[in-house]
Structure 1
Amino acid sequence: MSAATPVDAALLRGMPLPKHDGGGSKDVRGSVLVAGGSEEVPGAVLLSGTAALRAGAGRLRLAICDSMAPALAVAMPEARVIGLPRTPEGGIAATAAAPLLRYGNQAKALVLGPGMSGGREAEALVAALLQELSGPALVLDAAALAPLAGCREALRRHAGRAVITPHDGEMARLLDISREEVLADPLGMARRAAALLQVVVIMKGACSHIVTPDGDAWASDHGNIGLATSGSGDVLSGIIAGLLARGATPLQAAIWGVWVHGEAGHRLARAQGPVGYLARELPAEVPRILADLAA
């Protein structure tokens, strides 16, 4: 099978994003729903939602366990915040499937998983959503990845409109192999997962690989060490969802999202130093990056 195509600015300019110049309402740029978080990690939803708006989405809804909803609404006044039933441990309960189905099917793109507690409740919630959702493009990350091996048929319902974003440990669990096997051949494992699940796979790493179910692949080593920080992956998922909401295809959103995320890291590294910048600072770089690429 052919080697991965390198991603650079020239490649992105050859696959331009949908344009939203001049007039038009926020509905034209689509809506994003980010569902996840927990009492221990409420900020992941905030990071992902902020990134979705910075990538150009027109509307944003955030869904989190009800105990954290008021604080999140104050922290992000741009979003409508939905409180979901919670488990005794402070995670989202499986009974949240009903409201998430209602709001999810109204969205153009749904991010599921950032900051979400794992375990049986989360697995049941993800399985129910994959079985019943019919509207949005999907970005599955973090705790939403764990049940996918057992939800293969349900996930295949979303073929052509889903992106998953595992790191090496998550990929190992997804394929039931060792982390060392993933690290030895990340591109091969990404191709294996993409074919198995019929989704676009972003195999995250120092060099990230973006792979289609047919095995076509792109590679981006445009990031830097500073991106290896808490919350960085949540920002990436939000960027991808924002681009999906604007009308990008899952492959296009994945390729653009990975490179733009890396470029945001480079700009912060130049301004602040190679390590120590925060994930919350990445989204503010995104509009300028997109504008530069469109110039």
Structure 2
Amino acid sequence: MDRRPIRIDAGCLRDWPLPALADDADKEARGRILVIAGSREVPGAAVLAAAAALRVGAGKLAIATPSSIATQMAFTMPEARVIALPETASGGLDPAGIEALEEAATAAHGVLVGPGLLDRDATCEFLWRLLPLLQEQLVVLDALAMDCVAGAGPFERPVLLTPHAGEMAHLTGASKEDVLADPLAAATRAAQRWNAVVAVKGPATAIAAPDGRSWLHEGGNAGLATSGSGDVLAGAIAGLCARGATLEQACAWGVALHARAGDRLAQQLGPVGYLARELPREMLAVLRELQPA
């Protein structure tokens, strides 16, 4: 079997179209997305991820976030149902809040956990309590939520992890230089070790599935290396999961949309200096170009 990575380009994406949405599809048909994100220090991460999820077509949005910022979140994202969760003294999500999340979690099609969360130990305990509820949902882990893999065995059901090279080095004990030298090998090893789809982000983003399939995307620009950019990417991937894409397809499309959105902003504004909050709108335009109605 040919195990060379598939290049993610316009041709690849057109041959791998996202699930079609009927003209009369309501918000339920377009899928429910649950974003578990944000903290007192980094509330905007939830906003960026949630906005991206809606821009790529998810239909119904719920945001679960610490109670200290829940009211502000509701006004900032009026499209969302906001679920206030109890916090630890360090500002993380208290695992005791899982019960309040059960209904929204089991109703979701795509679930994103991690952007902007604080308190590593609480986050990991929260996640391991949450995962048994997510037997049919597609799960994307980003930022601090990825720390749950440290010292853990493989996932019972595959999830998607989205580390950049530094995070991958932290999670595996490899050096950042080794990860950057061969991101595809790093992603492939991690995918098999954790039974996960793994995307190692960078100038060349490598995606690997547990069964050995892999994809490679080259592109984007230096402007994407900006605060909040990864939150936008994670939200877009989870939003595509909510509307019916598989983990691998959602990741490939999300990476391409993110990179091409950065290219559009670089042309409009300059190679650096555009903001992560500007990416979701451009992603919508790219999506329209790549998958016309």
TM more than 0.5: yes
Q: Is the 8 A contact 2:124 2:145 kept in 1?
A: yes
What is the CA distance between 1:239 and its match in structure 2? 0.7
Task: Supply the distance in 1 between the matched residues of 2:153 and 2:105 (Cα, whole angstroms).
Answer: 20
Native 8 Å contact 1:165 1:201 kept in 2: yes
How far the C-alpha of 1:280 sits from its partner, in A, is 0.4
1:60 CA displacement: 0.2
Counting only pairs closer than 5 Å after superposition, residues 1-295 of structure 1 correspond to structure 2 as: 2-153=3-154, 155=155, 157-159=156-158, 162-295=159-292
Q: When the two structures are superposed, what TM-score results if normalisation uses the length of structure 1? A: 0.95
- For residue 97 of structure 1, report the CA deviation from its aligned partner: 2.3
Comparing 123-132 with 25-34, greater Cα deviation is found at: 123-132
Residues 265 and 282 in structure 1, CA contact (< 8 A), matched pair in contact too? yes
In the alignment, residue 64 of structure 1 is paired with which amino acid?
A: T
Task: Using the TM superposition, name which of 24-33 and 176-185 deviates more.
Answer: 176-185
Q: Secondary structure at the match of 1:147?
A: helix
By how many angstroms is 1:151 displaced?
3.7
Secondary structure in 2 matching 1:97: helix
**1:218 to partner: Cα distance:** 1.2
Q: Is the 8 A contact 1:86 1:92 kept in 2?
A: yes
The Cα offsets for residues 36-87 of structure 1, whole Å up to 9 and x where unpaired, read as 2110001101100000000000000011100100001000100011100011
Superposed structure 1 runs of 4+ greater than 6 Å apart: none
- Indicate conservation of the 8 Å contact 1:104/1:135, yes or no: no
1:221: how far off? 1.5
Secondary structure of the 2:28 match is: helix
CA–CA distance in 2 between the matches of 1:2 and 1:118?
39
- Say what the alpha-carbon RMSD is for the aligned residues: 1.4
| CA contact 1:101–1:133 (8 Å) conserved in 2 | no
Cα distance in 2 for partners of 1:100, 1:173 equals: 29
Q: Is the 8 A contact 1:65 1:83 kept in 2?
A: yes
What is the deviation of 1:205? 0.7
2 CA distance for matches of 1:185 and 1:274? 26
Q: Distance in 2 between matches of 1:147 and 1:91?
A: 14
Q: How many residues align?
A: 291
TM-score (ref. length: structure 2): 0.95
Distance verdict in 2 for CA 1:148–1:230, change over 3 Å: same
Separation of aligned partners in 2, 1:31 and 1:218:
27
CA apart distance, 1:101? 3.3
Q: How far apart in 2 are the matches of 1:9 and 1:103?
A: 35
Deviation at 1:3, TM superposition (A): 3.5
- CA separation in 2, counterparts of 1:205 and 1:24? 35
1:119-157: CA deviation from partner (whole Å, max 9, x where unpaired): 21112111212244323100100000011133434x2x2
- Identity, in percent, stands at 47
